[in-house]
Structure 1
């Protein structure tokens, strides 16, 4: 009661915060007459003036009012657009590292230029992150006019760029990129062997457009780079035989969560079967040595019980082909990850293709948390404010609209079944089209879009169907969804980021209709005609009630429903929104309370009859909150588990970077030798034991195997004073002397390069195996809950023990490799850095289940080709055998000095 009274008197905390920012906006506005009076050259000179003031000790906050006023004036002169005051408020919110929630059509793209310019003055680079490459390209090209006018450079990161182009884009003042490209570039950089090959630079400031889509929806699945691994076909077949012997009482399945797990009796049954098959080490399935076997058992169980032939997949030409659950189409070339596809192949008795092993992985949560300052903008974030703060430490600030919202949000309509509902929707759409009112229809899946399309065809309604796959073409169609009488069916993600103007978009119509018409009187006349038609359509659509957003069902998330509603009513335009629901909807069928809907609606509703009730709408919202909480728990769990890996990833990547940057790693090698010797002695001579209890034979064997030495250990044992320290000292001296002897065989630079190469390649090999083990451990660790243990705590302990073991193995392997190096003195080929292996990049879209990693240069599968993409500059024509760089000592894998973007060995260095 007191809270509502205080809110009515003083406003909400959000309103008070926005009011406090308006004081800064007033300062910005006060500078406008001063900057309007400046010439173009004087306005451009402001950039250097600001940089000089920063160097003199002023802060970005000190410069903010004048910098924002500068950008506003530059925008007026280059784009003909003046930032509204609410955009200034949003810009300040972004600069402070918070999330600006702004309604659709309020100008988020233009607003971002304000904090981008201000933060780019430091020279550390600003990243603007978008949901697809079409938007990255569009926004960069559009806003580069403002940045270029003020002397800043703009870069774009999209698929199919070579490393030189990527490096140049990252070195720009402001870089537009998709979330996938940024994440994969970071992972690739940490797989490279030289700093000059890397494209990323230090993280500074990032602005995430459609922040809810990227940091919430897509964060449910990590980015994964994988490569080929050993063939385990025999293991899959044997595990499949074991799992086929299980009975229904051995497992529990949850179709709602799409999960399956062994019961306690089932675990014992599997252990006995695996023992009989010789696949179990020891007697406990969940000993750490059996981590991989548990993973294969779980995947085989999922393949046999949860995945159905001719529903989830078909067998065609001896291969398992996935069927898209939304469209029913075959998805040739796509494979399930984590060994699931191989488990299905073993189930169906077809040839088992080798699986890919994870080489590098990161979640969006941990990638974006590396930015010292991160902000975001979207039309809908308030419902996820708690998650944004808990995971990313970002507050959500709701920015008021430039003009009051005039959209009318009608109550939901409930029908008995999907046929009645779609019949009513089709009739409503036909009536709206006849009145000239444009309709944007939102569906939750491609399957529902196609079903509704068939109903509209029966009603004779002309319409377009979109499904959020072909971003550029769909943006053009969505931009015209406001034309008179237009009917556009789109999945809820289709065309996101594209403004819908009443009457349609003049710019898109000109691009589409006049792309082949050259400049001249004919084109000018056509443009004038289009502008007049759009203006007339705009008035007609306003008279018809504006854009009608019609949703065919509620989404799992209220936020996506709000996003759809927000497509109507931009900048004070009239509009209408309405949701149509029925008992067959997934949300009601899976998550709705059965008694409430089934009893009430089945008994009281006639076929074709509808009801509308605030009470029912409230119940739906409650169901949505349940799903949102469940999805949040999934994402939170992803973060909790990846945080464990992230701590280890930071250590490995940091060590790797230090090795790459060091001129010499002698001290690291010496330390590894010392720790390896200590470990050998500690294992053979346990503390507090007597010499006669020592395992001398094991010590001799390990010294010979790891250090490649044959010291007189038996003679040492006969001496009067025998202790572990004496053994350590003598072995250490011998190992150091042997390493010094190896180093003396070659020149100093060669030896340092050999040591670095051994270190990095051994580190990479063990890290790759460690990731594979952690993946398998994570699949099985939840079963510890049956023993009343917290799976995440168990995972942390096991992962730490595995990491310690990995570090020890790295030390031993590096010491062994260096000790056994044998130099062959012959004319060598020019020193070259190893090529990265072919690998796959994967990021599974949580909505469609499709891989949207956008590595298009690999035949649709994301394999990095050996040759660079075709968009680079061609090799200059030279007489055969003429190489102007032959006298230079150029690594064969270095970029060619001619600037083509190719490796030297593929360009002027061709043998």
Structure 2
């Protein structure tokens, strides 16, 4: 049944002392409709689906570019209008888009007027490549735009048109800082176009979230959206279907939910959100007091000092696992009686000791976590930011607290969980954008139905990427990085140095200070100074050391005279498991046709190499790196390690999604059996 809301009378229904507008209930009903969640295709269906994706990728780019050029030419017409006429015409177009009766021509017509509105409101006139990107987002593509090409304005244009169609439009950003920045930056444009905008931040109360979710366009991170979705599911005892929500509105006068539907999502840095974060489900949990577990964790932490790596256990860094040897199992048999009664069984004592050894071997202070006010705060390795309120499960969090001699927190029990893969598959309209979709095009189409289209750059790319420099040890690498920074600093060029961890950024800052080079440090510890540090990073002679916080979404503007000197120089002190993260860091320089340069300094002892190859092979590579021509050999295996890590991560994501649906099928069968 289709409701013509324009003809609905203003009838009102009084129920239990509350007045509910029928029109509002119908709008809410439409807002809460979500896409049916079906498993990805397999077999012959998957093959046909893959061919469809290749066709859309191949033929979409040319068609979109021609249409964008046509819109740019048509945008010259509204330039002669005065402001009242322009925005009155935009209001008329908004109503026509809402009726959804002229899909093709009306979208082009709307964008041509939005070009002039953006010019007058924001003093930013969209280029044809930005219009091409906006068209692609409206048509559910994943667009690859190079850093600095104006993705913020591109998303704004698409969001306005999509919000005019009805239903909420969520723009997903990498962090709270970008969500608040972009919502504030584009607010005047949204208001002149008749749509409301808000942002949802981690520090907001429930009431503030409800108010912001009612806006037409909402900026938020993926973690905040999924957490609110899961909390809403817990608040609705009979489920979150539109029927249940409408009945609740009729009965109580309100629905006890925070979110206001999941109609449209535009995902910024979509490769990070939809691909890299897909392996970690978001869990809603509550602490449960468990004194026996705390006591057992403390004892296991003390007992783990008796275990020697290589003799009693082996460490699989790639799979993040501890495997006990025969000697280790015999040692467990000898000492497990020291544990409390309930933990003395073979399986439970092994699990406790594995967690203690994992905490010791694989989780490092100032890399995976920091200590703030006597508590463990997790650091997001992808973004370098703090993850307040998050904890590791299965006793691992308590094992790390015991390792650091901190008071043990209460373990948590899971109330709800969901992967980001399944969450974003629920949106009726999904699109994304990033500067780095290389190597993930097939996965984006297979899992999310998003064909990737590459948007050409407005100006030629003038960034110069220098060959990697190879070292046998980390110590030699960092000493050379310091010498390189001093050399560029003497030339008065701004330098951005990217590190993998907080500890490395602080260590490098200390070494540069000893050389007389003043530098600013941007990491999870200094996150409150982010805006100020980023604003100064492009000034002449400025040296900035940063973790991944200075990667995605960071726009470093060049100061006076810097472009003539060669622009920003970027140094990567280590490459990541995913090459896309390296490209994001390099993308901070040479933006919008400006000059810039970048270079990576790598060593055989880097994490990406050590987690793939065995120790004896690392020692061999160190010897090879010191001979003539050995750098090329080391770089070959370094890149092989990166590709291996990417391949392993891709397999893990596929397996997790398959297992997720398999578990649903099993639980559904069990429920049907009980009924």
| TM-score, reference length from structure 1 | 0.58
Gap regions ≥5 residues in structure 2:
1-53, 237-247, 249-253, 377-390
Match of 1:259 in 2: 321
2:584 paired residue number: 563
* Structure ranking higher in strand proportion: 2
Give 1:37 shift: 2.4
Residue 102 of structure 1, CA deviation = 1.2
Q: Deviation digits for residues 73-119 of structure 1, max 9, x if unmatched?
A: 11101111100111111111211222111111111001111210111
Q: d(CA) in 2 for partners of 1:590 and 1:235?
A: 31
Match of residue 340 from structure 1: 396
Q: 1:356 is matched with which residue: 397, 400, 412?
A: 412
Aligned equivalents of 2:293, 2:99: Cα separation in 1? 68
Equivalent residues of 1:592, 1:620 under 8 A apart: no
* Per-residue deviation, 1:212: 2.1
Q: Is the 8 A contact 1:260 1:301 kept in 2?
A: no
1:392 aligns to what? 448
Alignment map for 1:485-504 (pairs within 5 Å): 485-494=541-550, 496-503=552-559
Residues 75 and 350 of structure 1: is their aligned pair in 2 closer, same or farther, counting only changes over 3 Å? Answer: closer
CA gap 1:215/1:234 in 2 versus in 1, 3 angstroms: closer
Q: What residue is the counterpart of 1:663 in the other structure?
A: none
Query: In the alignment, what sits opposite 1:623?
Result: 641
The structure-2 alpha-carbon separation of the partners of 1:160 and 1:547, relative to structure 1 and needing over 3 Å to count, comes to closer
Residues 551 and 584 of structure 2 are in contact (CA less than 8 Å); yes or no, is this contact kept in structure 1? Answer: no
Q: Which residue of 2 aligns with 1:41?
A: 84
Asked whether the 8 Å contact 2:79–2:116 carries over to 1, the reply is yes
1:217 matched to 2:276: yes
> What residue is the counterpart of 1:382 in the other structure?
438
Matches within 5 A, 1:719-734: none
Q: 2:660 aligns with which of 626, 638, 642?
A: 642
Q: Is the 8 A contact 2:200 2:209 kept in 1?
A: yes
TM-fit CA distance, 1:218: 2.7
Retained in 1: the 8 A contact 2:145–2:435? yes
Match of 2:607 among 577, 581, 586: 586
**CA distance 1:227–1:40, change in 2 (3 Å):** same
Root-mean-square deviation (CA, aligned residues, Å) is: 4.0
Q: For residue 502 of structure 1, report the CA deviation from its aligned partner.
A: 1.8
Name structure 1 gaps, 5 residues minimum.
Answer: 1-10, 286-292, 314-321, 504-536, 648-795, 809-911
1-side partners of 2:333 and 2:167: how far apart? 56
Following superposition, the deviation at residue 579 of structure 1 comes to: 0.9
The alignment partner of 2:650 has SS state of helix
Residue in structure 1 matched with residue 354 of structure 2 by the alignment? 302
Name the SS for the 1:306 alignment partner: helix
How far is 1:637 from its partner? 3.2
Q: Does 1:409 align with 2:465?
A: yes
Q: 503, 513, 523: which one pairs with 1:467?
A: 523
| Residue in 1 that maps onto 2:69 | 26
Instruction: State whether residues 205 and 372 of structure 1, in contact with CA within 8 Å, keep that contact through their aligned partners in structure 2.
Output: yes
Displacement of 1:473:
2.4
Are the counterparts in 2 of residues 71 and 113 from structure 1 also a CA contact under 8 Å? no
Residue 429 of structure 2 is aligned to residue 373 of structure 1: yes
Contact conserved, 2:473 with 2:622, CA < 8 A, in 1? no
Residues 393, 297 of structure 1: alpha-carbon distance in 2 compared, 3 angstrom cutoff: farther
Residue pair 2:522, 2:549 contacting (<8 A) in 1 also = no
Return closer, same or farther for 1:259/1:803 CA change in 2, 3 Å cut-off. Answer: farther
Answer whether contact 2:355 2:395 (CA < 8 A) is retained.
no
Alignment of 1:201-212 (within 5 A): 201-212=260-271
Cα distance in 2 for residues equivalent to 1:643 and 1:30: 48
**Closer/same/farther in 2, CA of residues 48 and 304 from structure 1, 3 Å limit:** closer
Q: Residues of 2 paired with 1:239 and 1:441: CA distance?
A: 39
Measure, in 1, the Cα distance between the counterparts of 2:517 and 2:289.
56
2:128 to 85, 110, 113: 85
| Contact 1:88–1:111 (8 Å) recurs in 2 | yes
- Cα offset for 1:19? 2.1
Matching residue within 194, 200, 203 for 1:151: 194
Higher relative contact order (CA 8 A, sep 6+): 2
Instruction: Give the whole-Å Cα distance in 2 for the aligned partners of 1:102 and 1:175.
Output: 22
Task: Tell whether the 8 Å contact from 2:91 to 2:193 is kept in structure 1 after alignment.
Answer: no
**1:413 and 1:611 in contact (8 A); partners too:** no
Q: CA deviation at 1:216?
A: 2.5
In the alignment, the residues of structure 1 paired with residue 331 and residue 623 of structure 2 have an alpha-carbon distance, to the nearest angstrom, of 45
| CA gap 1:277/1:159 in 2 versus in 1, 3 angstroms | closer
Q: Does 1:573 pair with 2:573?
A: no
**Cross-structure match for 2:162:** 119
Asked whether the 8 Å contact 1:170–1:200 carries over to 2, the reply is: yes
The change in CA–CA distance for 1:804 and 1:233 in structure 2 (over 3 A counts) is farther
8 A contact 2:294–2:398 mirrored in 1: no
Distance 1:343 1:551 in 2: 32
Q: Decide which of 130, 147, 167 is 2:210's aligned counterpart.
A: 167
Map 1:604-683 → 2, pairs under 5 A: 605=626, 616-644=634-662, 647=664
Go from structure 1 to structure 2 and tell me whether the alpha carbon gap of 1:615 and 1:566 turns closer, same or farther (over 3 Å shift): farther
**Where does residue 562 of structure 2 map in the other structure?**
541
Q: SS at 1:444's partner residue?
A: coil
Alignment of 1:183-194 (within 5 A): 183-192=226-235
Kept in 2, the 8 Å contact 1:382–1:398? The answer is no
Deviation at 1:187, TM superposition (A): 1.3
* SS of 1:553 mapped into structure 2: coil
C-alpha separation between the residues in 2 aligned to 1:328 and 1:199?
A: 31
Distance in 1 between residues matched to 2:404 and 2:462, nearest whole Å: 58
Cα contact 2:578–2:642 (8 A) shared by 1: yes
Query: For 1:43-86, what per-residue CA distance to the aligned partner results, in whole angstroms no more than 9, with x for missing partners?
Result: 22334423443465524433211111121111101111100111
Cα 1:131–1:268 shift into 2, 3 Å: same
Change (3 A) 1:460 1:132: same
TM-score in terms of structure 2 length = 0.77
- Please report how far the alpha carbon of residue 562 of structure 1 lies from its aligned counterpart in structure 2 after TM superposition: 0.7
Residues 13 and 638 (structure 1 numbering): CA distance in 2 closer, same or farther, change over 3 Å? closer
Q: Which whole-Å CA distance do the structure 1 matches of 2:478 and 2:285 have between them?
A: 44
1:258-284 Cα shifts (integer Å, max 9, x gaps): 31357899999999999x99969xxxx
Q: Which has the larger radius of gyration?
A: 1
